[in-house]
Amino acid sequence: MSVVYETLQHTPGTDEAASAPTVAEPAVALPVTAKRQFNVKDKLGAVMRWLIPPILGLAVFVGIWALIAQETSNLPGPYATWQSAEALFAHPFYNNGPNDQGIGWNILYSLYRVGIGFGMAALVGIPLGFMIGRFKFLSDMTAPVISLLRPVSPLAWLPIGLLVFKQAEPASIYVIFISSIWPMILNTAVGVRQVPQDYLNVARVLNLSEWKVFTRILFPAVVPHVLTGIRLSIGIAWLVIVAAEMLTGGVGIGFWVWDEWNNLNVAHIIIAIFIVGIVGLLLEQMLVFIAKRFTYE
């Protein structure tokens, strides 16, 4: 037995075969249908993780609303409000005169005023913010004026607008303009000041014109700050128009809310709250999408 064992121990190639690394067996390829099933499961899981938190939050909100409505006699619950919304949006663009128009017309009139006031604020505020951030003398000159006027309540400007323009429509647009211009000025100016000084020194060495400094250096670097100012301003503009229309009257979502309060139609007031929130969110997201198209990365 020992001879056989020694013979095996000294057989040529035995050591090499024993010490040779084991070749891994090729992995079994999954069928195409199995891969598709895994991909579908992963995508479905991602969608569920994205949907469950907001759905759960809305469910909790509706549940709390329903509990409060049960304890308050004049407050409509979610189901009653939903029924009123169905009837309201069945004919959103009817027109029975200046003071009796559908909810669609009221939303469009408010958006029209917001668009004009916000657009004017952007045309004035963003270039002014660039100049304030670029030139220190202009920044020092305008700082006390901005610090004085920025904290003023938006509705405090409404009597001035009525006095100057003599009409409710331009006065409402003026209030939107004066209220939404400050975030764009301040955020743009801060963005310009945060541009590295080395970039401006190189531009000075190359004798670049002020226009090229703006288009090649300042604008690409300041776009994120301008975007922040736009988002803040559109929220303020949409917030202010509701309050301004309550005081000035006419056609608009703010006047519609006040009119429904005079009619003691609380369900329509709750619907208007949701409309204001949804439209404001859509406006903000739309502007963010447009601004990101011009983001330099």
**Domain stop point among 16, 43, 75:** 75
> What's the CA gap between 119 and 287, in Å, rounded?
12
Same domain assignment for residues 108 and 188: yes
**Domain stop point among 19, 44, 75:** 75
Q: DSSP secondary structure string, 79-123?
A: HHHHHHHHHHHHSTT-BSSTT-B-HHHHHHHHHHHHHHHHHHHHH
pLDDT-derived band at 295 (thresholds 50, 70, 90) equals: low
Widest CA span in the chain: 121
Same domain assignment for residues 152 and 232: yes
| pLDDT(35) > 70 | no
Same domain assignment for residues 190 and 224: yes
Residue at 13 is within a domain: no
- Please write the tens of the pLDDT for every residue from 214-259: 777 778 888 888 888 888 899 899 989 888 888 887 788 988 998 8
Q: Considering the entire predicted model, what is its pTM? A: 0.75
Residue at 226 is within a domain: yes
> What's the CA gap between 150 and 169, in Å, rounded?
23
The token duo for 54 is 């907001």
Q: DSSP secondary structure string, 122-163?
A: HHHHHHHHHHHHH-HHHHHHHHHHHHHHTTS-GGGGHHHHHH
Residue at 177 is within a domain: yes
Residue range(s) defining the domain that contains residue 226: 89-292
Residue at 202 is within a domain: yes
- Please write the tens of the pLDDT for every residue from 126-165: 999 989 988 889 999 999 999 999 989 888 999 999 999 9
First to last CA, the chain: 78
Same domain assignment for residues 227 and 95: yes
DSSP state of 30: P
Q: State the chain's mean pLDDT as an integer.
A: 82
Same domain assignment for residues 157 and 255: yes
Q: Which of 71-80, 268-277, 279-288 tops mean pLDDT?
A: 268-277
Same domain assignment for residues 70 and 193: no
pLDDT-derived band at 31 (thresholds 50, 70, 90) equals: low
More confident residue, 25 or 53: 53
Residue at 22 is within a domain: no
Residue at 1 is within a domain: no
**Residue 276: CATH number of its domain:** 1.10.3720.10
**Domain stop point among 75, 106, 136:** 75
Environment class of 252 (CB within 10 Å of its CB; exposed 0-12, middle 13-18, buried 19+): buried
Q: Say which amino acid occupies 62.
A: V
- Say how many domains are in the chain: 2
